[in-house]
């Protein structure tokens, strides 16, 4: 008898966020536009998310369920950082310094009352950093995705989708994002 090994076709989902806090710019939104112009030998799906505590995860959840990706990269913007930062953990906490784009301000509270305090991301963070560095991009591990919508999204993703490898990547403040986009391209190509 011959056995046939079925393998899942590589399909990567990448998200970014719209601008927030009065800005007209968010490099994670530009990243999605840039990725959609690139050529890959596998499927990529991009999703621009609102900076909204109530809307971001439901939109991600719906698309993740519909396409069943093999990996998920959530991306956002951390203006004060200087390197691509790959998040190691999502924490069960939100303490926003500003309201989201819907005007909702969540302060000093758990995301899920009975959820674990933290959940580790499910992609090999150190390997992702090496992939980015090989492309010429500076990158490092981060152990804080913040206490705003980025962390909120990451934590909810990790809570529901432990079997679909995923992490969050923050783009730094920069005058030129080409090298950071190349770093994320290198990561996407290798995961």
State how far the Cα of 95 lies from the Cα of 172, in Å rounded to an integer. Answer: 21
User: Distance between CA atoms of 96 and 49, rounded to whole angstroms?
Assistant: 18
CA distance 21 to 100: 8
Q: Of residues 147, 150, 152, 185, which has the active-site annotation?
A: 150
Active site residue 114: no
Catalytic residue among 45, 147, 152, 170: 170
Spot the catalytic one: 87, 137, 147, 152.
87
Q: Within 10 A of 168 (CB to CB), how many other CB atoms are there?
A: 28
Residue 150 annotated in active site? yes
Is residue 130 annotated as a catalytic residue, yes or no?
A: no
Rounded to the nearest angstrom, the gap between the alpha carbon of residue 163 and the centroid of all alpha carbons in its chain is 16
> How far is the CA of 45 from the CAs of 38, 143, 146, in angstroms?
12, 27, 25
Catalytic residues: 87, 150, 170
């Amino acid at each position: 008898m011959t056995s046939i090994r079925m393998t899942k076709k590589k399909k990567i989902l990448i998200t970014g966020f719209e601008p927030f806090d009065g800005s007209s710019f968010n490099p994670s939104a530009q990243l999605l536009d840039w990725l959609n112009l690139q050529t890959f030998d596998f499927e990529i799906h991009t999703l621009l998310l609102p900076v909204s505590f109530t809307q971001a995860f439901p939109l991600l959840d719906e698309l993740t369920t519909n396409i069943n990706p093999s990996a998920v990269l959530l991306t956002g913007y951390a203006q004060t950082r200087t390197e691509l930062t790959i998040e190691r953990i999502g924490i069960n906490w939100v303490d926003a310094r500003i309201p989201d784009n819907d005007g909702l301000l969540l302060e000093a509270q758990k995301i899920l009352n009975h959820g674990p305090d933290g959940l580790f991301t499910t992609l090999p963070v150190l390997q992702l950093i090496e992939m980015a560095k090989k492309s010429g991009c500076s990158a490092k591990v981060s152990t804080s995705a913040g206490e705003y919508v980025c962390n909120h999204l990451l934590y909810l993703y990790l809570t529901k989708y432990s079997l679909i490898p995923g992490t969050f990547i923050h783009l730094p403040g920069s005058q030129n994002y080409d090298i950071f986009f190349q770093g994320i391209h290198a990561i996407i190509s290798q995961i």
